[in-house]
Amino acid sequence: EVQLLESGGGLVQPGGSLRLSCAASGFTFSSYLMTWVRQAPGKGLEWVSSISGSGGSTYYADSVKGRLIISRDNLKDTLHLQMNSLRADDTAIYYCTWGGGATGSGIDYWGQGTLVTVSS
């Protein structure tokens, strides 16, 4: 059974930092692209960042480029999102996601999400 368990969310002041983690199980983690998707309160879904199976290629939405850093530990089957210079509009539920098909084909599995609140 595929499981994605996020952790690390919480309340942080504007300009602050936070590190999200996602523990994956039930599939060959190192073989697949992993992706973070977020959802601001009452809003739609927004792609944040993706990382290749090896970790050698990373991709970012323009809205987070230069502030958020995606990484992975294939020995521990864990995905990370280092969030720096946080702004109020980064407030959202952050989902760790995985799709078992071709990139862009569809996101089969979603974690339960972790809430990040940026506020003073």
Partner 1 sequence: QSALTQPPSVSGSPGQSVTIPCTGTSSDVGGYNYVSWYQQHPGTAPKLIIYDVSKRPSGVPDRFSGSKSGNTASLTISGLQAEDEADYHCCSYAGSYNPFVFATGTKVTVL
Q: Which two tokens stand for residue 81?
A: 């999102």
Which of 1, 41, 62, 120 is close enough to bind partner 1 by CB under 8 A? 62
> Shortest distance, CB of residue 61 to partner 1, whole angstroms?
6
113 binds partner 1, rule: CB under 8 A: yes
Across the beta sheet with 3-7, the strand order is: 3-7, 18-25, 78-83, 68-73
Query: Distance between CA 40 and CA 28 in Å, rounded?
Result: 30
Report the chain's C-alpha Rg in angstroms.
Answer: 13
Query: Distance between CA 1 and CA 52 in Å, rounded?
Result: 22
Which of 5, 23, 45, 115 is close enough to bind partner 1 by CB under 8 A? 45
Among the residue ranges 13-21, 45-53, 70-78, 80-88, the one whose residues contact partner 1 (CB under 8 A):
45-53
Binding mask 68-97 for partner 1 (x = CB under 8 A): ---------------------------x--
CB 62 within 8 A of CB 47: no
- Range 24-43, binding partner 1 (CB under 8 A): 33, 35, 37, 43
